[in-house]
Structure 1
Amino acid sequence: MPLFRWTLKTEKKALILWAVSLTITLLLFLFMYPSILKEKEAYEKILAVYPKEVLEAFAIELDTLLSFHGYLGYVYGYILLALGIYSMRLGLTTIGKEISRNTSEFLFTKPVKRSRVLLEKGLAAFLLMLFLTLSLLLAALFMEYLYAEKKEPGITFLIVFSAFFLQMLFYSLGLLMGILKRKVRFFSSSAIGVVSAFYILSMVSQVLQKDYLRYAAPFRYFDVSEIMRSGTYDRVFLLFSLLLTTLLLLFSFTALKRKALSAG
């Protein structure tokens, strides 16, 4: 599988950079957890100043925030934003890089079917995203061992591993956009723009508390409070995210198959 190995090789440096930076960021935030517990009254006074709508937008509940898993979920919300940008960019560049650089003709005229190209590159991307998620999971489990009064590694796993489903969704969306667009000039800025828009939409849906808006807000598919309360994912939104991912991948395959080589 030459394309599979080639994709892993070309993305190795970027993966290491993202994994190290995000893991260190998560560790630094979680190292602050004991000091937050000691300053409980101070945080109560600070949060009392903010309007209710602001707290809802950022999904801040004091009782939840002062538990290890609640604090992990709050911090991880910002990590998810970065992971979404990483996976979206990865999807945009999977095929979109060749299309934008007019090298798709060379790629697709090789004795390899387009479906094989998409499969090998997609498998490599999923492996990269899985590695990134697992590195964060190990860091979170380590910090839980150090600081959590009540050890529930299963809850930690569910909170952190939800990122993998979210990454697959954004990767699939980026993949389709990269194939459909004639030319993507700035992959990173495009990824930041799209993912940030969904993040803002998630905040708006949190404030408005409209159930139907949640379906358009991927960052709310795996709610930390629900995970802590039930010990599992919401089946409806888990299946919905998997269905969206599958549909986007199918649309990507169809779009790539129909794309004229001259449009590359």
Structure 2
Amino acid sequence: MNIFKFEFKRLLKSAIIWSIICGALIVLFMSLFPSMKNMGMQELVGSKMDALPSELLKAFNIETTMDFTNIFDYLSYAIQYIAMASAVYGAILGVNALIREESEGTIEFLYSKPIKRSKIVTTKLCSVAAIFLIYIVIVGSFTMTTCLMVKPDNVEVMDLIINVKSIFIGIALLGYVFMAIGLLISSIIKSDKASIPVAIGIFFVTYFLGMIGKLKESFDWMKYLSPFDYYAPGEILKNGFDVTLVLVGICIIVIAIIGSYVIYNKKDMNI
């Protein structure tokens, strides 16, 4: 029996739905870009932003110097909401990966086959990782196509391609961090009833910790508790990847996956 094939087919439909919804949102966001310049929206948005404290804007990953008539500044602002949705989706995939078999009662069927627990974890992990990669490719394609359609004449196509590619590499890493954390939680919990609230909670708790860290310098260390800030689209476009934060994210992935194997192999199953 091919667990990977079965799991991949089961998750593909939801992946396509997530991809279409997020792709449609980015098309909607980017279709508004030409109006930022042609209708004087930059002045209106700028006046509203100037009325807010700079610390608050920074907490929401908005720079006071952000120019919404610049396609890269506008993209970095719009795409952060897609990055948030992607992180939540990655967490949902991870949290549901192992616990679903116990909740649906199919774990007993798996145990009737000569399959080790470690192989179950491996195939589940590979299937959710592949599904998330498909999601990233589809949403990235939506973004690339839309940006090419609305880009100003003074923006080089290659620059646009490189920047969009960098953003989605960051979003992919972000999703895999939350997926790994979700997989670890999936190896611990006993029921999938709370899986989606847990997945959403994981993201927003860490996101708000990162916001607190940006409000005051003495709390700057809290950015390490917020994976979203490791791969924030605005930072990637402005300063590139922070190698230290990228390595922290990779370490979280490795530790969470190893922990999932260890805990799942010792777990008392609901059979």
Task: Give the TM-score taking structure 1 as reference length.
Answer: 0.91
Shift of 1:196: 1.6
1:228 to 237, 240, 254: 237
Aligned ranges 1:54-203 → 2 under 5 Å: 54-66=56-68, 67-149=70-152, 150-151=155-156, 152=159, 153-203=161-211
Q: How far did 1:156 drift?
A: 1.4
Structure 1 residues 196-226: Cα deviation after superposition (integer angstroms, max 9, x where no partner):
2122222222222443111101110023344
CA RMSD for the aligned pairs?
Answer: 1.9
| Counterpart position of 1:217 | 226
Paired residue for 1:18? 18
Partner amino acid, structure 2, of 1:49: A
1:57 maps to amino acid: A
**Does the 8 A contact of 1:99 with 1:179 survive in 2?**
no
CA distance in 2, matches of 1:122, 1:18: 19
* 8 Å contact kept, 2:50–2:64: no
Q: Which sections of structure 1, spanning at least 5 residues, go unmatched?
A: none
Structure 1 residues 10 and 65 mapped into 2: Cα distance closer, same or farther (>3 Å)? farther
Contact 2:8 2:127 in 1 (8 A): yes
- Provide Cα deviations, 1:58-100, integer angstroms capped at 9, x if missing partner: 1212533422122212112111221122111111111111233
CA contact (8 A) 1:159 1:227 kept: yes
Is residue 59–residue 206 contact of structure 1 (8 Å, CA) maintained in 2? no
- Quote the Cα distance in structure 1 between the aligned partners of 2:32 and 2:267: 51
Once the 2 structures are TM-superposed, how far is the Cα of residue 108 of structure 1 from its aligned partner?
Answer: 3.1
Structure 1 residue 31, shift from structure 2 partner? 0.7
Structure 1 residues 141-150 or 80-89, which shifts more? Answer: 141-150
Following the alignment from structure 1 to structure 2, what is the Cα–Cα distance between the partners of residues 62 and 32? Answer: 20
Unaligned runs of 5+ in 2: none
For 2:6, the equivalent position in structure 1 comes to 6
Change in Cα spacing, 1:179 to 1:81, as seen in structure 2 (3 Å) is same
SS in 1 for 2:187: helix
More displaced stretch, 83-92 vs 246-255: 83-92
Aligned to 1:36: 36
- Matched to 2:125, the amino acid is G
> What is the CA–CA distance in structure 1 between the aligned matches of 2:104 and 2:4, rounded to whole Å?
20
| Distance in 1 of aligned mates of 2:67 and 2:215 | 18
Moved more, 244-253 or 127-136: 127-136
Q: Distance in 2 between matches of 1:156 and 1:174?
A: 27
Deviation at 1:102, TM superposition (A): 4.7
SS of the aligned residue for 1:192 comes to helix
Once the two structures are overlaid, the 10-residue window that deviates more, 180-189 or 131-140, is: 180-189
Q: Against the structure 1 CA distance between its residues 88 and 130, is the aligned structure 2 distance closer, same or farther, given a 3 Å change threshold?
A: same
Q: What is the rounded CA distance, in whole Å, between the counterparts of 2:8 and 2:43 in structure 1?
A: 49
1:239 to 238, 247, 270: 247
